[in-house]
């Protein structure tokens, strides 16, 4: 049986799926047609229902729960992992300053954009773009501020940029919950027995990667964007954790909390189906 599988080229995703897609573990009769793409591209594809299994941001998942269910393994949740709001100028920014600024974001359907709206609901001058272009947009002053994710958390200071606020920290302080960043979802049309096998395979793939860590595989290196191995390891250690192996009750509750906030922000979505965890 062959299923389409999409995830990002970032080290946390390639670390998670390496052993599975490169057949370092037994795939139990399943085969995968793999597509690597930027997370906002994956979000858009999820809204179209293009892939059988996909990485996606939680706001995109919330919009797709009539079509997709959440797998128990592979998600990115945690504390201290949230997006950062950055600027070129090393000056204090008031709430009004932020809400009146142009802000580069990694996409309308990303958790980063949701957390920006949660913290600064009056911020309307957003400029969606590929996450890897955001530092350049701020440096060139095409936008005044930017919301950075992924490996840019580790590189922005080297480029002369400055943190204005940690959006994840604001979420944790207000909600007392881990930050749900990205999910692995599967089409509801896939048989439950197959879903259970895939859950197990993703967990095995992560366990295989951990068993060989801190070695960084060629698959991870191949798809990293000009990162040295130290940055790759910091990226993996930040975004892959016990929640990636198993959401557990705390992870599921955090997702329910984020879903509640999302629904309040999007009143037209209040009649959406309930979340479906596998």
* Superfamily of chain region 2-77+180-269: Periplasmic binding protein-like II (3.40.190.10)
Provide the pLDDT for residue 207.
Answer: 98
Question: Cα separation of 277 and 195, whole Å?
Answer: 11
Q: What is the DSSP letter of 173?
A: H
Which helix (H) or strand (E) segment is 126 a member of?
strand 126-128
Q: What is the pTM of this model?
A: 0.91
Give 216's DSSP letter.
-
Residues in the chain, pLDDT under 50 = 270
- In sign, the C-alpha dihedral spanning 201, 203, 208, 214 is positive
Q: Give 221-248 pLDDT, tens digit per residue.
A: 999 866 789 989 999 999 999 999 999 9
Q: Where are the domains of the chain?
A: 2-77+180-269, 84-175
- Kindly report the CATH number that applies to the domain delimited by 84-175: 3.40.190.10
Question: Does 150 participate in catalysis according to the annotation?
Answer: yes
Digit-coded pLDDT (tens) for 145-199: 999 998 788 889 999 999 999 999 999 999 999 999 999 999 999 999 999 999 9
Longest CA–CA separation in the chain, Å: 57
User: Is 9 within 8 Å of 224 (Cβ atoms)?
Assistant: yes
Length of the chain: 278
Residue 175: exposure state from Cβ atoms within 10 A (0-12, 13-18, ≥19): middle
* Predicted local distance difference test score (pLDDT) of residue 269: 52
User: Looking at residue 226, what is its pLDDT?
Assistant: 63
- Catalytic residue, chosen from 150, 223, 235, 259, is 150
């Amino acid at each position: 049986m062959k299923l389409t599988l999409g995830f990002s080229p970032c080290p946390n995703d390639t670390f998670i799926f390496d052993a599975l897609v490169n057949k370092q573990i037994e795939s139990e009769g399943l085969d995968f047609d793999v597509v690597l793409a930027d997370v906002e591209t994956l979000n858009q594809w999820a809204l179209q229902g293009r892939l059988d299994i996909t990485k996606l941001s939680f706001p995109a998942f919330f919009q797709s729960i009539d079509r997709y269910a959440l797998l128990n393994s592979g998600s990115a949740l945690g504390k201290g992992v949230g997006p950062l709001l950055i600027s070129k100028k090393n000056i204090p920014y008031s709430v009004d300053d932020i809400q009146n600024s142009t802000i580069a974001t990694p996409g309308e359907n990303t958790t980063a954009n949701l957390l920006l709206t949660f913290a600064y609901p009056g911020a309307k001058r957003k400029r969606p773009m590929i996450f890897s272009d955001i530092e350049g947009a701020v440096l060139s002053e095409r936008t005044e501020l930017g919301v950075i994710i992924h490996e840019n958390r580790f590189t922005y200071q080297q480029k002369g940029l400055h943190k204005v606020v940690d959006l994840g920290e604001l979420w944790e302080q207000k909600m007392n919950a881990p930050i749900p960043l990205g999910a692995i979802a599967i089409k509801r049309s896939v048989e439950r027995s197959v879903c259970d096998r895939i859950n197990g395979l993703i967990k095995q793939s992560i366990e295989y990667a951990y068993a060989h860590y801190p070695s960084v595989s060629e698959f991870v290196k191949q798809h990293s964007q000009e990162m040295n191995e130290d940055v790759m390891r910091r990226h993996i250690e930040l975004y892959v954790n016990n929640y990636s192996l198993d959401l557990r009750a705390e992870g599921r509750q955090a997702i329910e909390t984020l879903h509640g906030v999302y629904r309040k922000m999007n009143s037209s979505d209040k009649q959406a189906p309930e979340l479906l965890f596998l």
